[in-house]
Amino acid sequence: MTAAPAVTILKWGPQGTKAGVGFAVQKSGNSALWFEQRGIHSAPSVEVWFDQTRLSGMAIKPDEGGSAEVPPELIAKPGKYPVYLKLLPSGQRVELGVFEVTP
């Protein structure tokens, strides 16, 4: 069995918004989160999660960065939501941080 790859998150954002206010809005109407990373080489090897929801519209630039789309319903209510990566197939969780939706 091989060890899971070492993944490092350098930066990510944005880290918050006001309830119902989109950010980096895409043609789909979803907002976009971005992150800088080292250690992820392909999109099929990772999932991006916002609290309990796996995000779609994901793109990975090997060993550099990535992004994922956040649907409007996830930022509709104030709260603090964990944002993390799930490495596949191990399921290892790599924290990006906490996204805060303010009133």
Q: Please name each of the domains of the chain with its CATH number.
A: 26-97 (2.60.40)
Per residue in 84-94, pLDDT tens? 999 999 999 99
Per residue in 15-30, pLDDT tens? 999 999 999 999 999 9
Residue 42 burial by Cβ neighbours in a 10 Å radius (0-12, 13-18, 19+): exposed
CA dihedral for 6, 70, 56, 93, sign (positive or negative): positive
End-to-end alpha carbon distance in the chain: 47
Ranges of residues in the chain with a pLDDT under 70 are: 1-5
Is the pTM for the entire model greater than 0.85?
yes
Angstrom distance (rounded) from CA 66 to CA 51:
18
What SS3 class is residue 43?
helix
